Structure 1
Amino acid sequence: MTETPVVNDHQRARSASPSQNSEADDIFSAVISEVDQTSLAPLAKSIRSRIDRQYNGKEPIVAEAIFGSYHMLFPLHFSDGVSWIVKIPHNGTKEKWDDLSANALLSEANTMCLLRRLTTIPLPEVFHLSSTTDNRLRCPYIMMSFVAGKSLYDVWFGHRLGNAKPEDVMKHRLKALSGIAEAMVQLGIFSFNQGGSMTFDAFGKFSGIGPARSLDHKAMLDRWFVHNDPSDDPIYVEDDVANGTKSYYLRPLARHPEEKGFPHGVWVLLHWLVNEIEEPENSKPFVLAHPNFDIQNFIVAEDGQLLSIIDWDGVAAVPRSVGNLRYPSWLTRDWDPAMYAYSESMDAGVEPEGVWEDSPNVLADYRLLYRQIMSRILGGTYDQRETRMSLITENLAIACHDPRCRNDILTKMIQQMGEHHSSPRFPSFTRLADKLGTNEHLLQKIRPGLEDAFRNLLLVDNL
């Protein structure tokens, strides 16, 4: 399931009206017009009656739709207190729905069912699925359980939001991180020789690894800034099955090669950095991981106890360097400067215009604590490098996939490489990209120093 109806700074709840003038309405207006909302309640009742023969109650009450980034959710409340959610993708109309999206929805739902069968990871229960527009709702959907609780964001920043005393917040945070780490460790049983989405047969039995669906951020930026097309529709692409870990990182760069100047230098530098990543030694280099390991996708109790992990859209087997043992994304935000909005005024309690952030020092402390939690769970089998290096590898993956974040991430990374290297004349990112843009063979000359600096960075304990 992607996003239960817990509303915070990361989410906006509105009634499902296509006449509203907002960015989300542009994305959702077509599917809102298409979906037969009058069929939601009777469809849910008929499905529940089939799986729960004891249920003889009324049709559920349908609450206002909640909009996520690329889907909308209809909460359903039954008369006996049970609540469900119907998730409908933003492109779930006959005109926009395609095989790529249908396969992604099938993989998401079937993977969730598999995780519920084989692990104790808390996640919603899938009751029904339609991956076509040929159904009573006229849109594809997943119907699943609703898990009551609080967004981890509200608990993590409880002292800022007035939900908890400052002295209790650290205990709540550590409890949440412990539950999350225990869940992520369990994903390690799903390891593979290839990367991609899990595929299933008609009976829901795992059948192999297939292509995955991802957003093409570069194509979306080009649509706005090159082609002057104001459309907000996401552009999805099919990623072939990855037979090597490096191809997972480099696919977006292969899709949009840069051939000259500064952008080409950035392109060369990214390729070099990715190829320097040493994957953890394991016979199967790919592992199942949560696709959006961010704070809004964890539902917890007030004390931080983990209740549910949501937003499994795009779940796939990925390289272990960004796999199930990586840091949670909100603990690595300081290495993605384009998205990190921390200011010192937050520490004085000044409310931000956007979301609350932790300082770089606090994030470094929690990264250490997360490794200690992992060590406690895994014991002697745990190699801390697999988690520690994910601070670098996760942000390299972001830099490869999202041009909006690329230069800022690389600026910080090259700066940190210089700070942990003995050379007093270590080049800046802009100088490197400029020179490599006109002479990529220069990389061979400066490679030994760069290799040293990058390897040193991966070994640093207190980043």
Structure 2
Amino acid sequence: MTHDNKSESHSSPRLASLRDSEDEDEKNDNAELFTEVLARLDKDSLSKLAAVTRQQSELEYDGQSPIVERPIYGSYNVLLPLAFPDGIRWLAKIPVNGTPIHWDAVSSGALSAEANTMRLLKRETTIPIPYVFGFSATTDNPICCPYILLSFIPGKPLYEVWFGDSSPEDVEQYRIRALQDIASAMVQLKTFSFDKGGFMTFDSNGNMTSEIGPMRHIDHQAMLDRWFIHKDPADDPIYVESPAFDSPHDYFMFPLRLHEETRPFPKGVLLLLELLISCIPVPPDTQPFVLAHPDYDIQNFMVSDTGELQGIIDWDGVSVVPCSIGSERYPGWLTRDWDPAMYGYDESMDKGVEPDGVQEDSPKALKFYRALYKDLVSKARENWRSLNAEPDENITRMSLITENLAIAAEDPQCRNDILRKFIEEIAVVFDGKVDLNFMDLVNDFASETVNDDTIQTLKSGLEILLGRDDL
């Protein structure tokens, strides 16, 4: 995360929820995770580097060095605020694995892709993102760590306004304003559509090339195995690299093919999930991939007190993904009710009772805001007529289904609960006229005894869900 790491349950990296709540590694907002990289970081050189970088871009700047302020810890990066004497603030973003022993070509490529993609978006769109003043994708530099120097985005995380203490009428107005601004920003990414998925590539001058390159992923299963099988308490991410994807199906299936599963029940779960993934339609055009924000969740949108979008942060891992989970999909905080392992709504929240964890919207409210956001995206799409980008009117609606299938594929913690939810919803589609039980289905898939009629029922049910406007 960047500015705000308010809640792991509101972010894509969801592994923290299974950890022991008293685990020492979780204390102090992940501070201990960054001990090694911060011990290597040369803060004096960082201050001087920032001053020199600013002087090169502002000839009138007098070269005074900024003060390196207290670190802000995220899940995979630490931010070091840099306060210049004239009040200007920058941020230095340092990866958790930014030491010679852990840094490798995969992470180097990811950092370069992030910085260059952000610069591209700053030049060619009106999306409010931090300005990249400079970056280094190697540990061989004056501060001894890879880094990105970014402008500071003012405002507060959307979570604080979305669940603010203003009147209900004002809060709703602020929410609508934020969603309108977010839709207008995100649909601009449709300009960057491709026939393959992965990281965008750039030449030595930072200009985008026509090639899509390999992509870095977090191996969630390997991290769980490290904790619960190998009893290793380490929290640093485990990364793997994929080649560029030729099809959306290959993208969705990549996490499931990283580890061979021989245990019957988990194997049955994977086979059920693969069947549902096979039902995701591919856009009819020849460019089924689009550039998308890597963590489209509430903590990464900075807004004013009244909901105006100030900036979109945390572009770590920005990549080209299937259109069905790309720039026109629902924001992550509007689809939480379909991810039961993470969704913690209680009716008392609507009565002003402070929750132990994060605040949640009711299922009814989420349906309302999904319908609203779909309309806002449709209005924002009008701009594409002049940009030679053909939008798919169904993407936003379908993304409730496709995004949660992507989460189920990526994150073993959420997989069973999401699939159970899907089976329940498919049963509702057929008004209880078909006998669908999650446990029985998984066991049938595992034993290869699932019949053709059941498979066709699952496919037909998911296709109906993908086509519904009222979810």
Q: Which aligned pairs between 1:90-101 and structure 2 lie closer than 5 A?
A: 90-101=96-107
Alignment of 1:246-257 (within 5 A): 246-257=249-260
C-alpha displacement at 1:383, in angstroms? 4.5
Q: Deviations over 1:362-399 (max 9, x none)?
A: 00100000011112222496544211110010000000
Q: Determine which of 32, 41, 50 is the counterpart of 2:38.
A: 32
Q: Distance in 2 between matches of 1:423 and 1:351?
A: 37
Query: What is the match of residue 295 of structure 1?
Result: 298
- The code of the aligned residue for 1:418 comes to A
Moved more, 23-32 or 33-42: 23-32
Q: Deviations over 1:2-37 (max 9, x none)?
A: 523x574569xxxxxx99965723321110111011
State the Cα distance separating 1:224 from its structure 2 match: 1.1
Check if 1:455 corresponds to 2:463: yes
| 118-127 or 77-86, larger mean C-alpha shift | 77-86
Aligned to 2:138: 132
Distance in 2 separating the partners of 1:330 and 1:375: 19
Separation of aligned partners in 1, 2:271 and 2:40: 45
Contact 1:8 1:154 in 2 (8 A): no
What SS does structure 1 have at the residue aligned with 2:30? helix
Q: Which amino acid aligns with 1:188?
A: K
Q: Tell whether 2:403 aligns with 1:394.
A: yes
SS in 2 for 1:213: strand
Aligned residue among 298, 305, 316 for 1:313: 316
RMSD: 1.9
Any residues of structure 2 matched to 1:307-456 within 5 Å, and which?
A: 307-379=310-382, 383-422=392-431, 424-439=433-448, 442-456=450-464
**Corresponding residue SS for 1:299:** strand
- TM-score when scaled to structure 2? 0.92
1:236 aligns with 2:235: no
Deviations along 1:283-339, one digit per CA (max 9) or x if unpaired, are 200000111000000011111111111111111111111111100000001111111
Question: Contact between 1:265 and 1:436, CA under 8 Å: does it hold in 2?
Answer: yes
Task: Give the whole-Å Cα distance in 1 for the aligned partners of 2:256 and 2:154.
Answer: 41
In structure 1, what residue type is equivalent to 2:461?
A: A
Match of 1:15 in 2: none
Cα distance, 1:206 vs. partner?
1.2
- Offset, 1:261: 1.5
Counterpart CA distance in 2 for 1:220 and 1:260 is: 18
Aligned to 1:199: 201
2:286 and 2:121 mapped to 1: Cα distance? 22
1:62 matched residue in structure 2: 68
Match of 1:188 in 2: 190
Alpha-carbon offset, residue 282 of structure 1: 2.0
User: 1:158 is paired with a residue of what secondary structure?
Assistant: coil
User: In terms of mean alpha carbon deviation, does 38-47 or 313-322 score higher?
Assistant: 38-47
8 Å CA contact retained: 2:53, 2:134: yes
Runs of 4+ in 1 over 3 A off after TM superposition: 6-11, 18-23, 379-384
SS at match of 2:295: coil
For the residues of structure 1 that align with 2:102 and 2:451, how far apart are their CA atoms?
44
Q: 1:327 corresponds to which letter in structure 2?
A: Y
* Shift in Å, 1:448: 2.0
Amino acid at match of 2:358: V
- 5+ long unaligned stretches in structure 2: 11-23
Cα displacement string for residues 343-364 of structure 1 (whole angstroms, at most 9, x for unaligned residues): 1111111111111110111001
Paired AA for residue 274 in structure 1: I
Cα distance in structure 1, aligned partners of 2:323 and 2:430: 26
Please tell me whether the aligned partners of residues 5 and 74 of structure 2 are also in contact (alpha carbons under 8 angstroms): no
Gaps of 5+ in 1: 12-17
Aligned to 2:20: none
Partner Cα separation in structure 2 for residue 130 and residue 449 of structure 1? 52
CA distance in 2, matches of 1:82, 1:373: 35
Q: How far does residue 445 in structure 1 lie from its aligned partner after superposition?
A: 3.8
Shift of the 180–415 alpha-carbon distance from structure 1 to 2, 3 Å rule, reads: same
Match in the other structure for 2:95: 89
The one-letter code sitting in structure 1 at the alignment partner of 2:195 is: N
Look up the SS of the partner of 1:347 in the other structure.
helix
Figure out how many residues of one structure are paired with residues of the other and give that number.
450
> What TM-score, normalized by structure 1, do the two folds share?
0.94
Q: Counterpart of 1:169?
A: 171
- TM-aligned CA deviation for residue 78 of structure 1: 1.3
CA 135–181 in structure 1, closer or farther in 2 if over 3 Å, else same: same
The match for 2:16 is none
Between 79-88 and 187-196, report the one with greater CA deviation: 79-88
CA contact (8 A) 1:131 1:141 kept: yes
Question: SS where residue 360 of structure 2 aligns?
Answer: coil
Give 1:103's match in structure 2, choosing from 104, 109, 120.
Answer: 109
Distance in 1, matches of 2:439 and 2:32, equals 38
Would the aligned equivalents of 1:181 and 1:373 in 2 still touch at CA under 8 Å? yes
Check 1:7–1:404 CA distance in 2 against 1; reply closer, same or farther (3 A cut): closer
Q: Secondary structure at the match of 1:408?
A: helix
- % same residue: 49
Counterpart Cα distance in 1 of 2:454 and 2:124: 49
1:145 paired residue number: 151
Query: 1:58 Cα deviation (Å)?
Result: 2.3
Distance 1:59 1:339, change over 3 A: same
- Report the residue type matching 1:433 in the other structure: V
What is the Cα deviation at residue 428 of structure 1?
A: 1.6
